[in-house]
Structure 1
């Protein structure tokens, strides 16, 4: 083997996956067609669950504290994201170029080899490996690996070469978008006009991002981004304003096509991010959805390559993420109708606006957009945390108090014995010993989150709780998620 895993695509999803694979001890090569990192920022929002995962891996130490805005939306209707049950409520404004820079630095520091200017042109699966051909700066390059993961966007070459079906609905609505310097127009947040909808948001650097949709215009086949003149003309028709004198820094178009790969795994080929699902990037959900794919897949694929994964662990990536994404896509489809529909959806928008004044409804939708409502089917039990993310809390052991999120930075499993005394710790320590090479035991009492006191929690490397009990036996769950114990 030339490497153990090949990741195709050095966008945020591919880079986070490469970092996770290296954290799990797997040799990883990233192949990227572009010769240099992109400077344009398609996405600019990190939601709460992504921020939590970045916190678990220590990435927030490097990212700092980005600007935060709790004023979210559902299909253009105001939705408060600032009151959610998380350490990171709201919408964190980070340009995609910065997210990529952060994740590239982390992947590189952990030892991933990022090869830019390598466009994948061929892929063949064999019983014990995958062979990938890429066109590099000096000619063709042929690499062999145990697995390959396509993180190469909605027009994924890996998905096409692996012949993975990509069913769904074609687009019938389109939004034109541009970052423009040198214009001075009123700020707009999903403002509706007789013939369309417009958004204008000025960044601190003076650049204004504009987005415009015309109700009566249907998408046209595109082989590249639209000309800025097309965006300016649409803006003038909808708003009556002239932005044609501005300097376009970036122009693109996106639509409401909705597709999802039939399988996220086919043999030794896997898909993540936009390669696995295509959706309108409304509310910043597309990027965050893909990053959560990488968080779910990374440790499982590393376990598979390292040889300790249970038989069905890698398949659980599809089993868990496919239904989560299917649900998110349904929500995005609903939002696209509310946001981009013409006068025919005015009644629907009025009903939704009324429903969103109800706390229960608004909270439910806000948790979904933020990614906080995910609960994987991890096994029997009725504990409220089972399958859900581990909440942040302070853990006290003796005279020391530590943040439980820091305990997940190693990318290993975690058994939390929250009884706080030696007698309560001795049993889980003995039960965990055969898995000590891949799961850590930490004992203490919650300084916050007192309702967890006395419980034992088994937490996967991605931060999801897979077993919770009071003086129960964690060994069946350890086998289910962390494989056979040492010596077996």
Structure 2
């Protein structure tokens, strides 16, 4: 019997498998697709943007450089002189924002690092890097296997696949928006119905009228032309066309002409798929020994490209907690913090995409709202706010501390010898990072060897702190002020007990 079964070998399932394999857990991944490659996962239709938070997750596990190479990115450097404006902010409901408008002074915890700008990649590159890593960690992936039922008791959970059954101590459903695990394990899935049908296609475009590149809001909806043949459309039809029938070239041309106000003609349509802005979320991410992550836990419009990033955040959060439960050193209630921390993050993303759908409505109300937002988002505060939300900078878990860094993704602290915090996190342990030379946390960290590593030395920018305790997922669990005293050591011990168990 395996420690953990993961259903779904997409980016979220594979990232989680790597987290568990890194901790020494025995992991079996079941995937219904018989082969890993697919035209839908390669560029252009498989193109995705990784936020700085997601890129940091790859950096903190030593996978950023392989991902950059697989993605064809060669200019990802580090600005040693301090944070620089982001290369891109993205858009809100088709309103494209200028990255030069981001107020860096309003981002006090942003430090330069290898992942500060995120990156543009594709699903094929992500899955290739993760699959290679999973294989090196001893993770087994079985393809062409469709899960039809999930049954659990107090000791184990069994995934049925027709004639065969697979047992494990835990099971995680990472099997997408139509998750079989979610349905069979009895999770409630609630939310709102769609406002539009979206289309993405690779097709030839001809005709006397020019179809300009970029994101375009029109009185009828929105269309995007990302390259000569890569086109996206959002048609506010209440989601009527999504997956009810295969879109024909004639239908796609009709929609494109209406949305763009042009007489363009579609030639050969090589690839096309549809989606909606349906926004649904599981009411809990855990039922007994079954957990959900990624699209199995939440679905929403792809506007803003947050789905992949949200799923990687789920995997990073639950991976070390589930591993600690498997290995028997998880403090009481540790696994329950997964839903408590990640469910509100998912709910915020769903509302963020709902708001964009409302703004894109092709009616007088939508147009009025769009013009108001266009003015607001053009301000420095508006641009900065969108960057915080899209980059993950604004995420802060409620860990019961008033210290402003606690609960946030750790800044990329860099020691004077050049070592980044991300490099200290590569073995999947937490880090007690002591910026002083007194080594006051060494003994407390040593008592949790194998769960928590100790590192010390001056930092190039310590943000006015004397020491920090960082969870394996890169979240600050405790921070000590400059006037470090006995009460700070006691606070460190309490936080270490809470997240890593007693020494």
TM-score (normalizing by structure 2): 0.87
Which blocks of at least 5 consecutive residues in structure 1 are unaligned? none
Equivalent residue in structure 2 for 1:93, among 115, 120, 134: 120
The corresponding residue for 1:286 is 307
The corresponding residue for 2:181 is 158
Query: Shift of the alpha carbon at 1:80?
Result: 3.6
The corresponding residue for 2:215 is 190
3-state SS in 1 of match to 2:12? helix
Alignment of 1:383-422 (within 5 A): 383-396=403-416, 400-419=417-436, 421=437
Deviations 1:3-36 (A, max 9, x none): 1100000111111010011111111111000001
The corresponding residue for 1:456 is 467
3-state SS in 2 of match to 1:40? coil
The corresponding residue for 1:430 is 443
Question: Are the equivalent residues in 2 in contact too, given 1:187–1:201 (CA < 8 A)?
Answer: no
- Establish whether residue 12 from structure 1 lines up as the match of residue 6 from structure 2: no
Question: Are the equivalent residues in 2 in contact too, given 1:215–1:342 (CA < 8 A)?
Answer: no
Query: Shift of the alpha carbon at 1:388?
Result: 0.7
3-state SS in 1 of match to 2:147? strand
The corresponding residue for 1:58 is 62
- Establish whether residue 74 from structure 1 lines up as the match of residue 95 from structure 2: no
> In 1, Cα distance between the equivalents of 2:289 and 2:74?
38
The corresponding residue for 1:214 is 235
Question: Are the equivalent residues in 2 in contact too, given 1:70–1:91 (CA < 8 A)?
Answer: no
Query: Shift of the alpha carbon at 1:330?
Result: 1.1
3-state SS in 1 of match to 2:284? coil
The corresponding residue for 2:290 is 269
3-state SS in 2 of match to 1:284? coil
- Establish whether residue 226 from structure 1 lines up as the match of residue 217 from structure 2: no
Query: Shift of the alpha carbon at 1:96?
Result: 1.4
Query: Shift of the alpha carbon at 1:216?
Result: 5.2
Query: Shift of the alpha carbon at 1:52?
Result: 1.3
Instruction: Label 1:479 to 1:48 Cα distance change in 2 as closer, same or farther (>3 A).
Output: same
3-state SS in 1 of match to 2:62? coil
> In 2, Cα distance between the equivalents of 1:223 and 1:122?
26
Query: Shift of the alpha carbon at 1:351?
Result: 0.7
3-state SS in 1 of match to 2:371? helix
> In 1, Cα distance between the equivalents of 2:245 and 2:118?
30
The corresponding residue for 1:327 is 348
The corresponding residue for 2:80 is none
Instruction: Label 1:27 to 1:452 Cα distance change in 2 as closer, same or farther (>3 A).
Output: farther
> In 1, Cα distance between the equivalents of 2:74 and 2:196?
32
Question: Are the equivalent residues in 1 in contact too, given 2:314–2:342 (CA < 8 A)?
Answer: yes
Question: Are the equivalent residues in 1 in contact too, given 2:413–2:462 (CA < 8 A)?
Answer: no
Question: Are the equivalent residues in 1 in contact too, given 2:446–2:454 (CA < 8 A)?
Answer: no
> In 1, Cα distance between the equivalents of 2:236 and 2:405?
44
> In 2, Cα distance between the equivalents of 1:458 and 1:261?
31
Query: Shift of the alpha carbon at 1:103?
Result: 1.3
Instruction: Label 1:391 to 1:133 Cα distance change in 2 as closer, same or farther (>3 A).
Output: same
Instruction: Label 1:10 to 1:340 Cα distance change in 2 as closer, same or farther (>3 A).
Output: farther
Deviations 1:168-201 (A, max 9, x none): 1111211122123576963433313343321111
Question: Are the equivalent residues in 1 in contact too, given 2:204–2:266 (CA < 8 A)?
Answer: no
Deviations 1:26-85 (A, max 9, x none): 111110000012331345111111111111111112122368951511111122457563
Which moves more between the two structures, 218-227 or 23-32?
Answer: 218-227
Deviations 1:278-321 (A, max 9, x none): 10011110111111000101110000011000110001000000
The corresponding residue for 2:22 is 23
Deviations 1:256-288 (A, max 9, x none): 111110110000000000000010011110111
Question: Are the equivalent residues in 2 in contact too, given 1:131–1:142 (CA < 8 A)?
Answer: yes
> In 1, Cα distance between the equivalents of 2:117 and 2:240?
32
- Establish whether residue 373 from structure 1 lines up as the match of residue 384 from structure 2: no
> In 2, Cα distance between the equivalents of 1:60 and 1:464?
19
> In 1, Cα distance between the equivalents of 2:339 and 2:246?
32
3-state SS in 2 of match to 1:233? helix
> In 2, Cα distance between the equivalents of 1:339 and 1:263?
30
Question: Are the equivalent residues in 1 in contact too, given 2:203–2:267 (CA < 8 A)?
Answer: no
The corresponding residue for 2:150 is 123
3-state SS in 2 of match to 1:5? strand
3-state SS in 2 of match to 1:119? coil
The corresponding residue for 1:295 is 316
Alignment of 1:357-372 (within 5 A): 357-372=378-393
The corresponding residue for 2:134 is 107
3-state SS in 1 of match to 2:148? strand
Question: Are the equivalent residues in 2 in contact too, given 1:73–1:80 (CA < 8 A)?
Answer: no
Query: Shift of the alpha carbon at 1:372?
Result: 1.3
Instruction: Label 1:436 to 1:81 Cα distance change in 2 as closer, same or farther (>3 A).
Output: farther
Query: Shift of the alpha carbon at 1:391?
Result: 0.8
Query: Shift of the alpha carbon at 1:415?
Result: 0.3
Query: Shift of the alpha carbon at 1:91?
Result: 5.6
Query: Shift of the alpha carbon at 1:228?
Result: 4.3
TM-score (normalizing by structure 1): 0.90
- Establish whether residue 254 from structure 1 lines up as the match of residue 275 from structure 2: yes
Q: CA RMSD in A?
A: 2.1
